[in-house]
Amino acid sequence: MPRLLVIRGGALGDFILSLPVMAALKREIQDSQIEIMGYPRIVALAVERVYAEKVRSIDYGPLSRFYGADSDLPEELCAYFASFHQIISFFYDPDDIFHGNLRKAGARHILQLPHKPDENKPLPASEQFARGLEKIGIFPGDFAPRVYSTVQDQAEAAKILGPKPGFRVVIHPGSGSPSKNWPLENWVEIIQWLLKRTPAQIALVFGEVEIETKAAFARFAPGPRVKVLDELPLPVLAAALGTATVFVGHDSGISHLAAAVGSPVITLFGPTNPVIWAPPGACVIRKGQSLTQIVTEEVQIALAKFLRLG
């Protein structure tokens, strides 16, 4: 049985955009067993959910020796890396120290893929990553990331959300960077518009680093039709996003997650390039480098189409 290791750190969006690589490996290398070295909280989206069988933490203490030149490498990790038939690494390693140590440890076949897409290439990030497999004779034909939920994931999400209404709008008003965020008062206006114009349930998503955004919304008490999805385990959040009639957010990992579970997605873009970073199939709203140029009416029009409002 071929044993494959995918080394993938980075944020949530980076990981999701790398899933077509893992899908192609599963499809093309029959009966392979894939292990992912990454952040367990994020890798949970893939382990025992189609893509991989095992996870190993990239924060594992002794692994730090592989980051230094002329290090005394732990025997346990040498045996571990040498046990794989193929290693696919997204690890940022400009001086080739980490990968040099992998070879020193006995790793036989290492394919290094970029940790970030090339901003000068007009191709989606997921396609740029997956096309890297062509170097080992694998030619992916599908570049859309997909995340799969288990029955247990769906049951946990249902407990939090309650019975599914006719419409459910999921909103993620944050991101990893303030420059990629639409002003909070605009989001409040959108929520008020939805509550007035539709019977929809609204679910607000907050990530673990979005303390200020969450605090700002805490001052806004919209009533029982609004649910808060706060720091859920990512597989449960994915299942919750999968129930959305439509999702609205920024250029963020959560937007990629919503698209990957198959929900219709509206994304608001500012300084980043949607050709590279927009989820496949997303409705993109962009008016320039600053999101302040996007007015609420434009988002309302997009929502009205998905919600089939007259």
Per DSSP, the residues of 10-40 read: S-HHHHHHTHHHHHHHHHHSTT-EEEEEE-H
CATH 3.40.50.2000 residue spans of the chain: 3-136, 151-307
Write down the pLDDT at residue 102.
Answer: 98
Express each pLDDT in 203-262 by its tens digit: 999 877 677 777 777 666 567 888 989 889 999 999 999 999 999 999 999 999 999 999
CATH topology of domain 151-307: Rossmann fold (3.40.50)
The angle that helices 211-218 and 184-197 make with each other, rounded to 10 degrees, is 50
SS (H, E, C) 214-256: HHHHHCCCCCCCEEEEECCCHHHHHHHHCCCCEEEEECCHHHH
Write down the pLDDT at residue 214.
Answer: 76
With H, G, I as helix, E, B as strand and everything else as coil, classify residue 111.
strand
Rounded to whole angstroms, the Cα distance separating 252 from 175 reads: 5
**DSSP H or E run through 190:** helix 184-197
Given the DSSP bridges, would you call strands 168-171 and 246-250 parallel, antiparallel or unpaired? parallel
Express each pLDDT in 253-273 by its tens digit: 999 999 999 999 999 999 999
Write down the pLDDT at residue 215.
Answer: 76
Torsion region of 31: left, alpha or beta (phi above 0 gives left; psi -120 to 50 gives alpha): left
Question: Of 3.30.300.30, 3.40.50.300, 3.90.550.10, 3.40.50.2000, which CATH number belongs to 3-136?
Answer: 3.40.50.2000
Write down the pLDDT at residue 220.
Answer: 64
Q: Within the chain, which residues score under 70 in pLDDT?
A: 209, 218-222, 310
The angle that helices 75-82 and 97-105 make with each other, rounded to 10 degrees, is 80
Q: Quick one: which of 154, 239, 179 has its CA closest to 205?
A: 239
Express each pLDDT in 180-200 by its tens digit: 999 999 999 999 999 999 999
Does residue 145 contact residue 256 with C-beta atoms inside 8 Å?
yes
Write down the pLDDT at residue 43.
Answer: 98
Rounded to whole angstroms, the Cα distance separating 310 from 295 reads: 20
